[in-house]
Amino acid sequence: MLRRNGAVAREAARRATCGATRLVMGIPTSAEGACRTLVTSSSSSQRPVYVASHGIVPVTRNAGAKIADMGKQAIDAALKGSGLKKDAINAMYVGNMLSGILSNQQHVSPLIATAAGLNGIETTTIEACCGSGGAALRWGYMAIASGMHENVLVLGVEQMTHSDRDSVTKGLATASHWEKEGALGETFVSLNGKLMSLYMKKYGIDREKFAPFSLNAHKNALTSVHSTLKKNVSLDDFIKSTVVKEPVTIMDASPTCDGAAAVLLTSSRELAKDKAGRVVRLAGSGAASDILAVEDRPEPLALVAVDKSLEEALQRSGLDRNSVDIFELHDAYTIMACLCLESAGFAPPGEGTSFAADGHIGLKGILPISTFGGLKARGHPVGATGVYQAAEMNLQLREEAGENQAKGARVAVTQNIGGAGASVYTHVFIQE
């Protein structure tokens, strides 16, 4: 496996001394200067979009959190971080999947706007199943890039733990093709189990080969303040874990939980600048879809929307795969993490598990994933996940990730998936 330029740049940044030189986008640059400026080209004349701040509510599995309260908490934190007053916010887009199903509460965006003191603001709830947060982020990106708005809040919020397991499972299954899958008893555990079985058979590997994805996620969650599963997991734990639906075990799947996260997007570069002079720009957004029913896809192991959405996001950012330092993928299941790596072009087909086993996905690897625990161990409050990813990458690129820092990272990609790859939202963040 070839080492990518993004990883080389990260290692160089770690080791560089004052006055040293390295290559950034092929240009010799002083190490000190390279830590501040990344020159990119854009495929359009759209207005730049910056991340001014974020707010993160710790993910929880303790029933009792209210959706409006969590949303307000995340919004308040984002506003405090930006220094903006509420009347400077032009719009708010809210990612949510299950509130109407589990709580009989549709229309959560005005509910939360009122709770947060933003009554009267333009606000819309965006639903793309588990990809709702990423879809809301794309709406925010488009609102700023188009020139329609100056400052936009993007919120992802989900409440799941107040409902029983069967209700949650059935609710999540509505992200499938109901007539062909959900109504016939398929769940996302069984659908991912089919993909995992197909992969194991095609490439001749055992289930334990997927362990590095789970172990990496749990290791990173141990030092993440907002992650919910803080448990050190060994290979033996993975091998002996309880089977949920063959071959998927509890160590392959993400947990049911509650949470909310927000990012504040702005057209103002000055507003986005932190005390150290760092600026995080949301440089590109991409979205794509695939056939909803997994059984109807000609090649189920090729997640075409993963590839297509990444291509669009990279094109808009003026970058390529070699520039990516972090790939915050959608690891709802270990098989999905593997397929995302391969479908995105970071590992050849059939080599995703080997890529992980070689240590490449760790915080010190050439392509860190699940840097705060990912969906597997940070937790997967489904409609909020895509915004958690964005907030976490703001921490990474502002070098505020503490023990979870991927050192030298300057380009981060987030990818949020609805269903089993039927809708995918990809975003590229750059430290400038």
Active site residues per annotation: 130, 380
Would you list the DSSP string of 336-356?
HHHHHHHHTTSS-TT-HHHHH
Place of tokens 């501040």: 36
Distance linking the first and last C-alpha atoms of the chain: 29
**DSSP 8-state class, residue 226:** T
Angle in degrees, 0-180, between the axes of helices 67-82 and 108-115, rounded to the nearest 10:
60
Residues 431 and 397: beta-carbon distance below 8 Å = yes
Q: Buried (b) or exposed (e) across 323-354, using 16+ Cβ within 10 A?
A: bbbbbbbbbbbbbbbbbbbbbbebbeeebbbb
* CA neighbor of 84 nearest in space, from 43, 35, 131, 51: 51
Sign of CA dihedral 148, 112, 430, 361: negative
- Give the pair of three-digit tokens for residue 236: 């033996």
Q: How far apart are CA 202 and CA 199, in angstroms?
A: 5
Q: Buried (b) or exposed (e) across 19-50, using 16+ Cβ within 10 A?
A: eeebebbeeebebeebbeebebeeeeeeebbb
Question: In a 3-state reduction of DSSP, which class is residue 426?
Answer: strand
Would you list the DSSP string of 89-158?
--EEEEE-SSHHHHSS---HHHHHHHHTT-TTSEEEEE-BTBTHHHHHHHHHHHHHHTTS-SEEEEEEEE
Q: How far apart are CA 416 and CA 418, in angstroms?
A: 7
